[in-house]
């Protein structure tokens, strides 16, 4: 089966992005942003759920550990930068919620 054969269409008929490592990392990163309240959930709410955000960040860290020395430079940079940005944002949201 080729990528073209696997290429599905979104509900509006637009093609979905190819499934690759970068798309996977970006999807998990977006989930963290939803859990931090930075992006709306499917119901349109912006409520932070720090436990879910932390769990997904930990999942990305596990992915980084298990794929060490097995990624392209671009993939490694994307994952490292995503983790850094998400961790910083997690701390910001955590501190704002306490204060």
Instruction: Provide the pLDDT for residue 16.
Output: 79
The residues with which 15 forms a beta bridge, in sequence order, are 9
Do the domain assignments include residue 26? Answer: yes
Q: Model confidence over 2-56: pLDDT tens digits?
A: 554 455 556 677 887 788 999 999 999 999 999 999 998 889 888 899 999 999 9
Domain-located, residue 3: no
In a domain, 10, yes or no: no
pLDDT of residue 9: 59
Give pTM, 2 decimals.
0.82
Task: Name the residue range of residue 43's domain.
Answer: 19-98
Residue 55 located in a structural domain: yes
How far apart CA 56 and CA 79 sit, in angstroms, is 13
| Domains: count for the chain | 1
Q: Each residue of 23-56: b (16+ CB within 10 Å) or e?
A: eebeebbebbbbbbbbeeeeeeeeebeeeebbeb
76's CB contacts (< 8 A; 6+ apart) are: none
Q: Token pair of 21, please?
A: 């490592």
pLDDT, tens only, 80-99: 999 999 999 999 999 998 87
For residue 23, tell me if it sits in a domain.
yes
Residue 1 lies in a domain: no
């Amino acid at each position: 089966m080729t990528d073209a054969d696997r290429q599905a269409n979104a509900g509006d008929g637009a093609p979905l992005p190819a499934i690759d490592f970068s798309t996977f990392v970006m999807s998990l990163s977006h989930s963290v942003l939803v859990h931090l309240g930075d992006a709306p959930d499917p119901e349109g709410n912006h409520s932070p759920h720090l436990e879910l955000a932390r769990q997904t960040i930990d999942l990305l860290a596990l992915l980084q550990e298990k794929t060490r020395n097995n990624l392209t430079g671009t993939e490694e940079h994307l994952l490292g930068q995503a983790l850094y940005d998400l961790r910083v944002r997690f701390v910001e949201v955590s501190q704002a919620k306490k204060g």
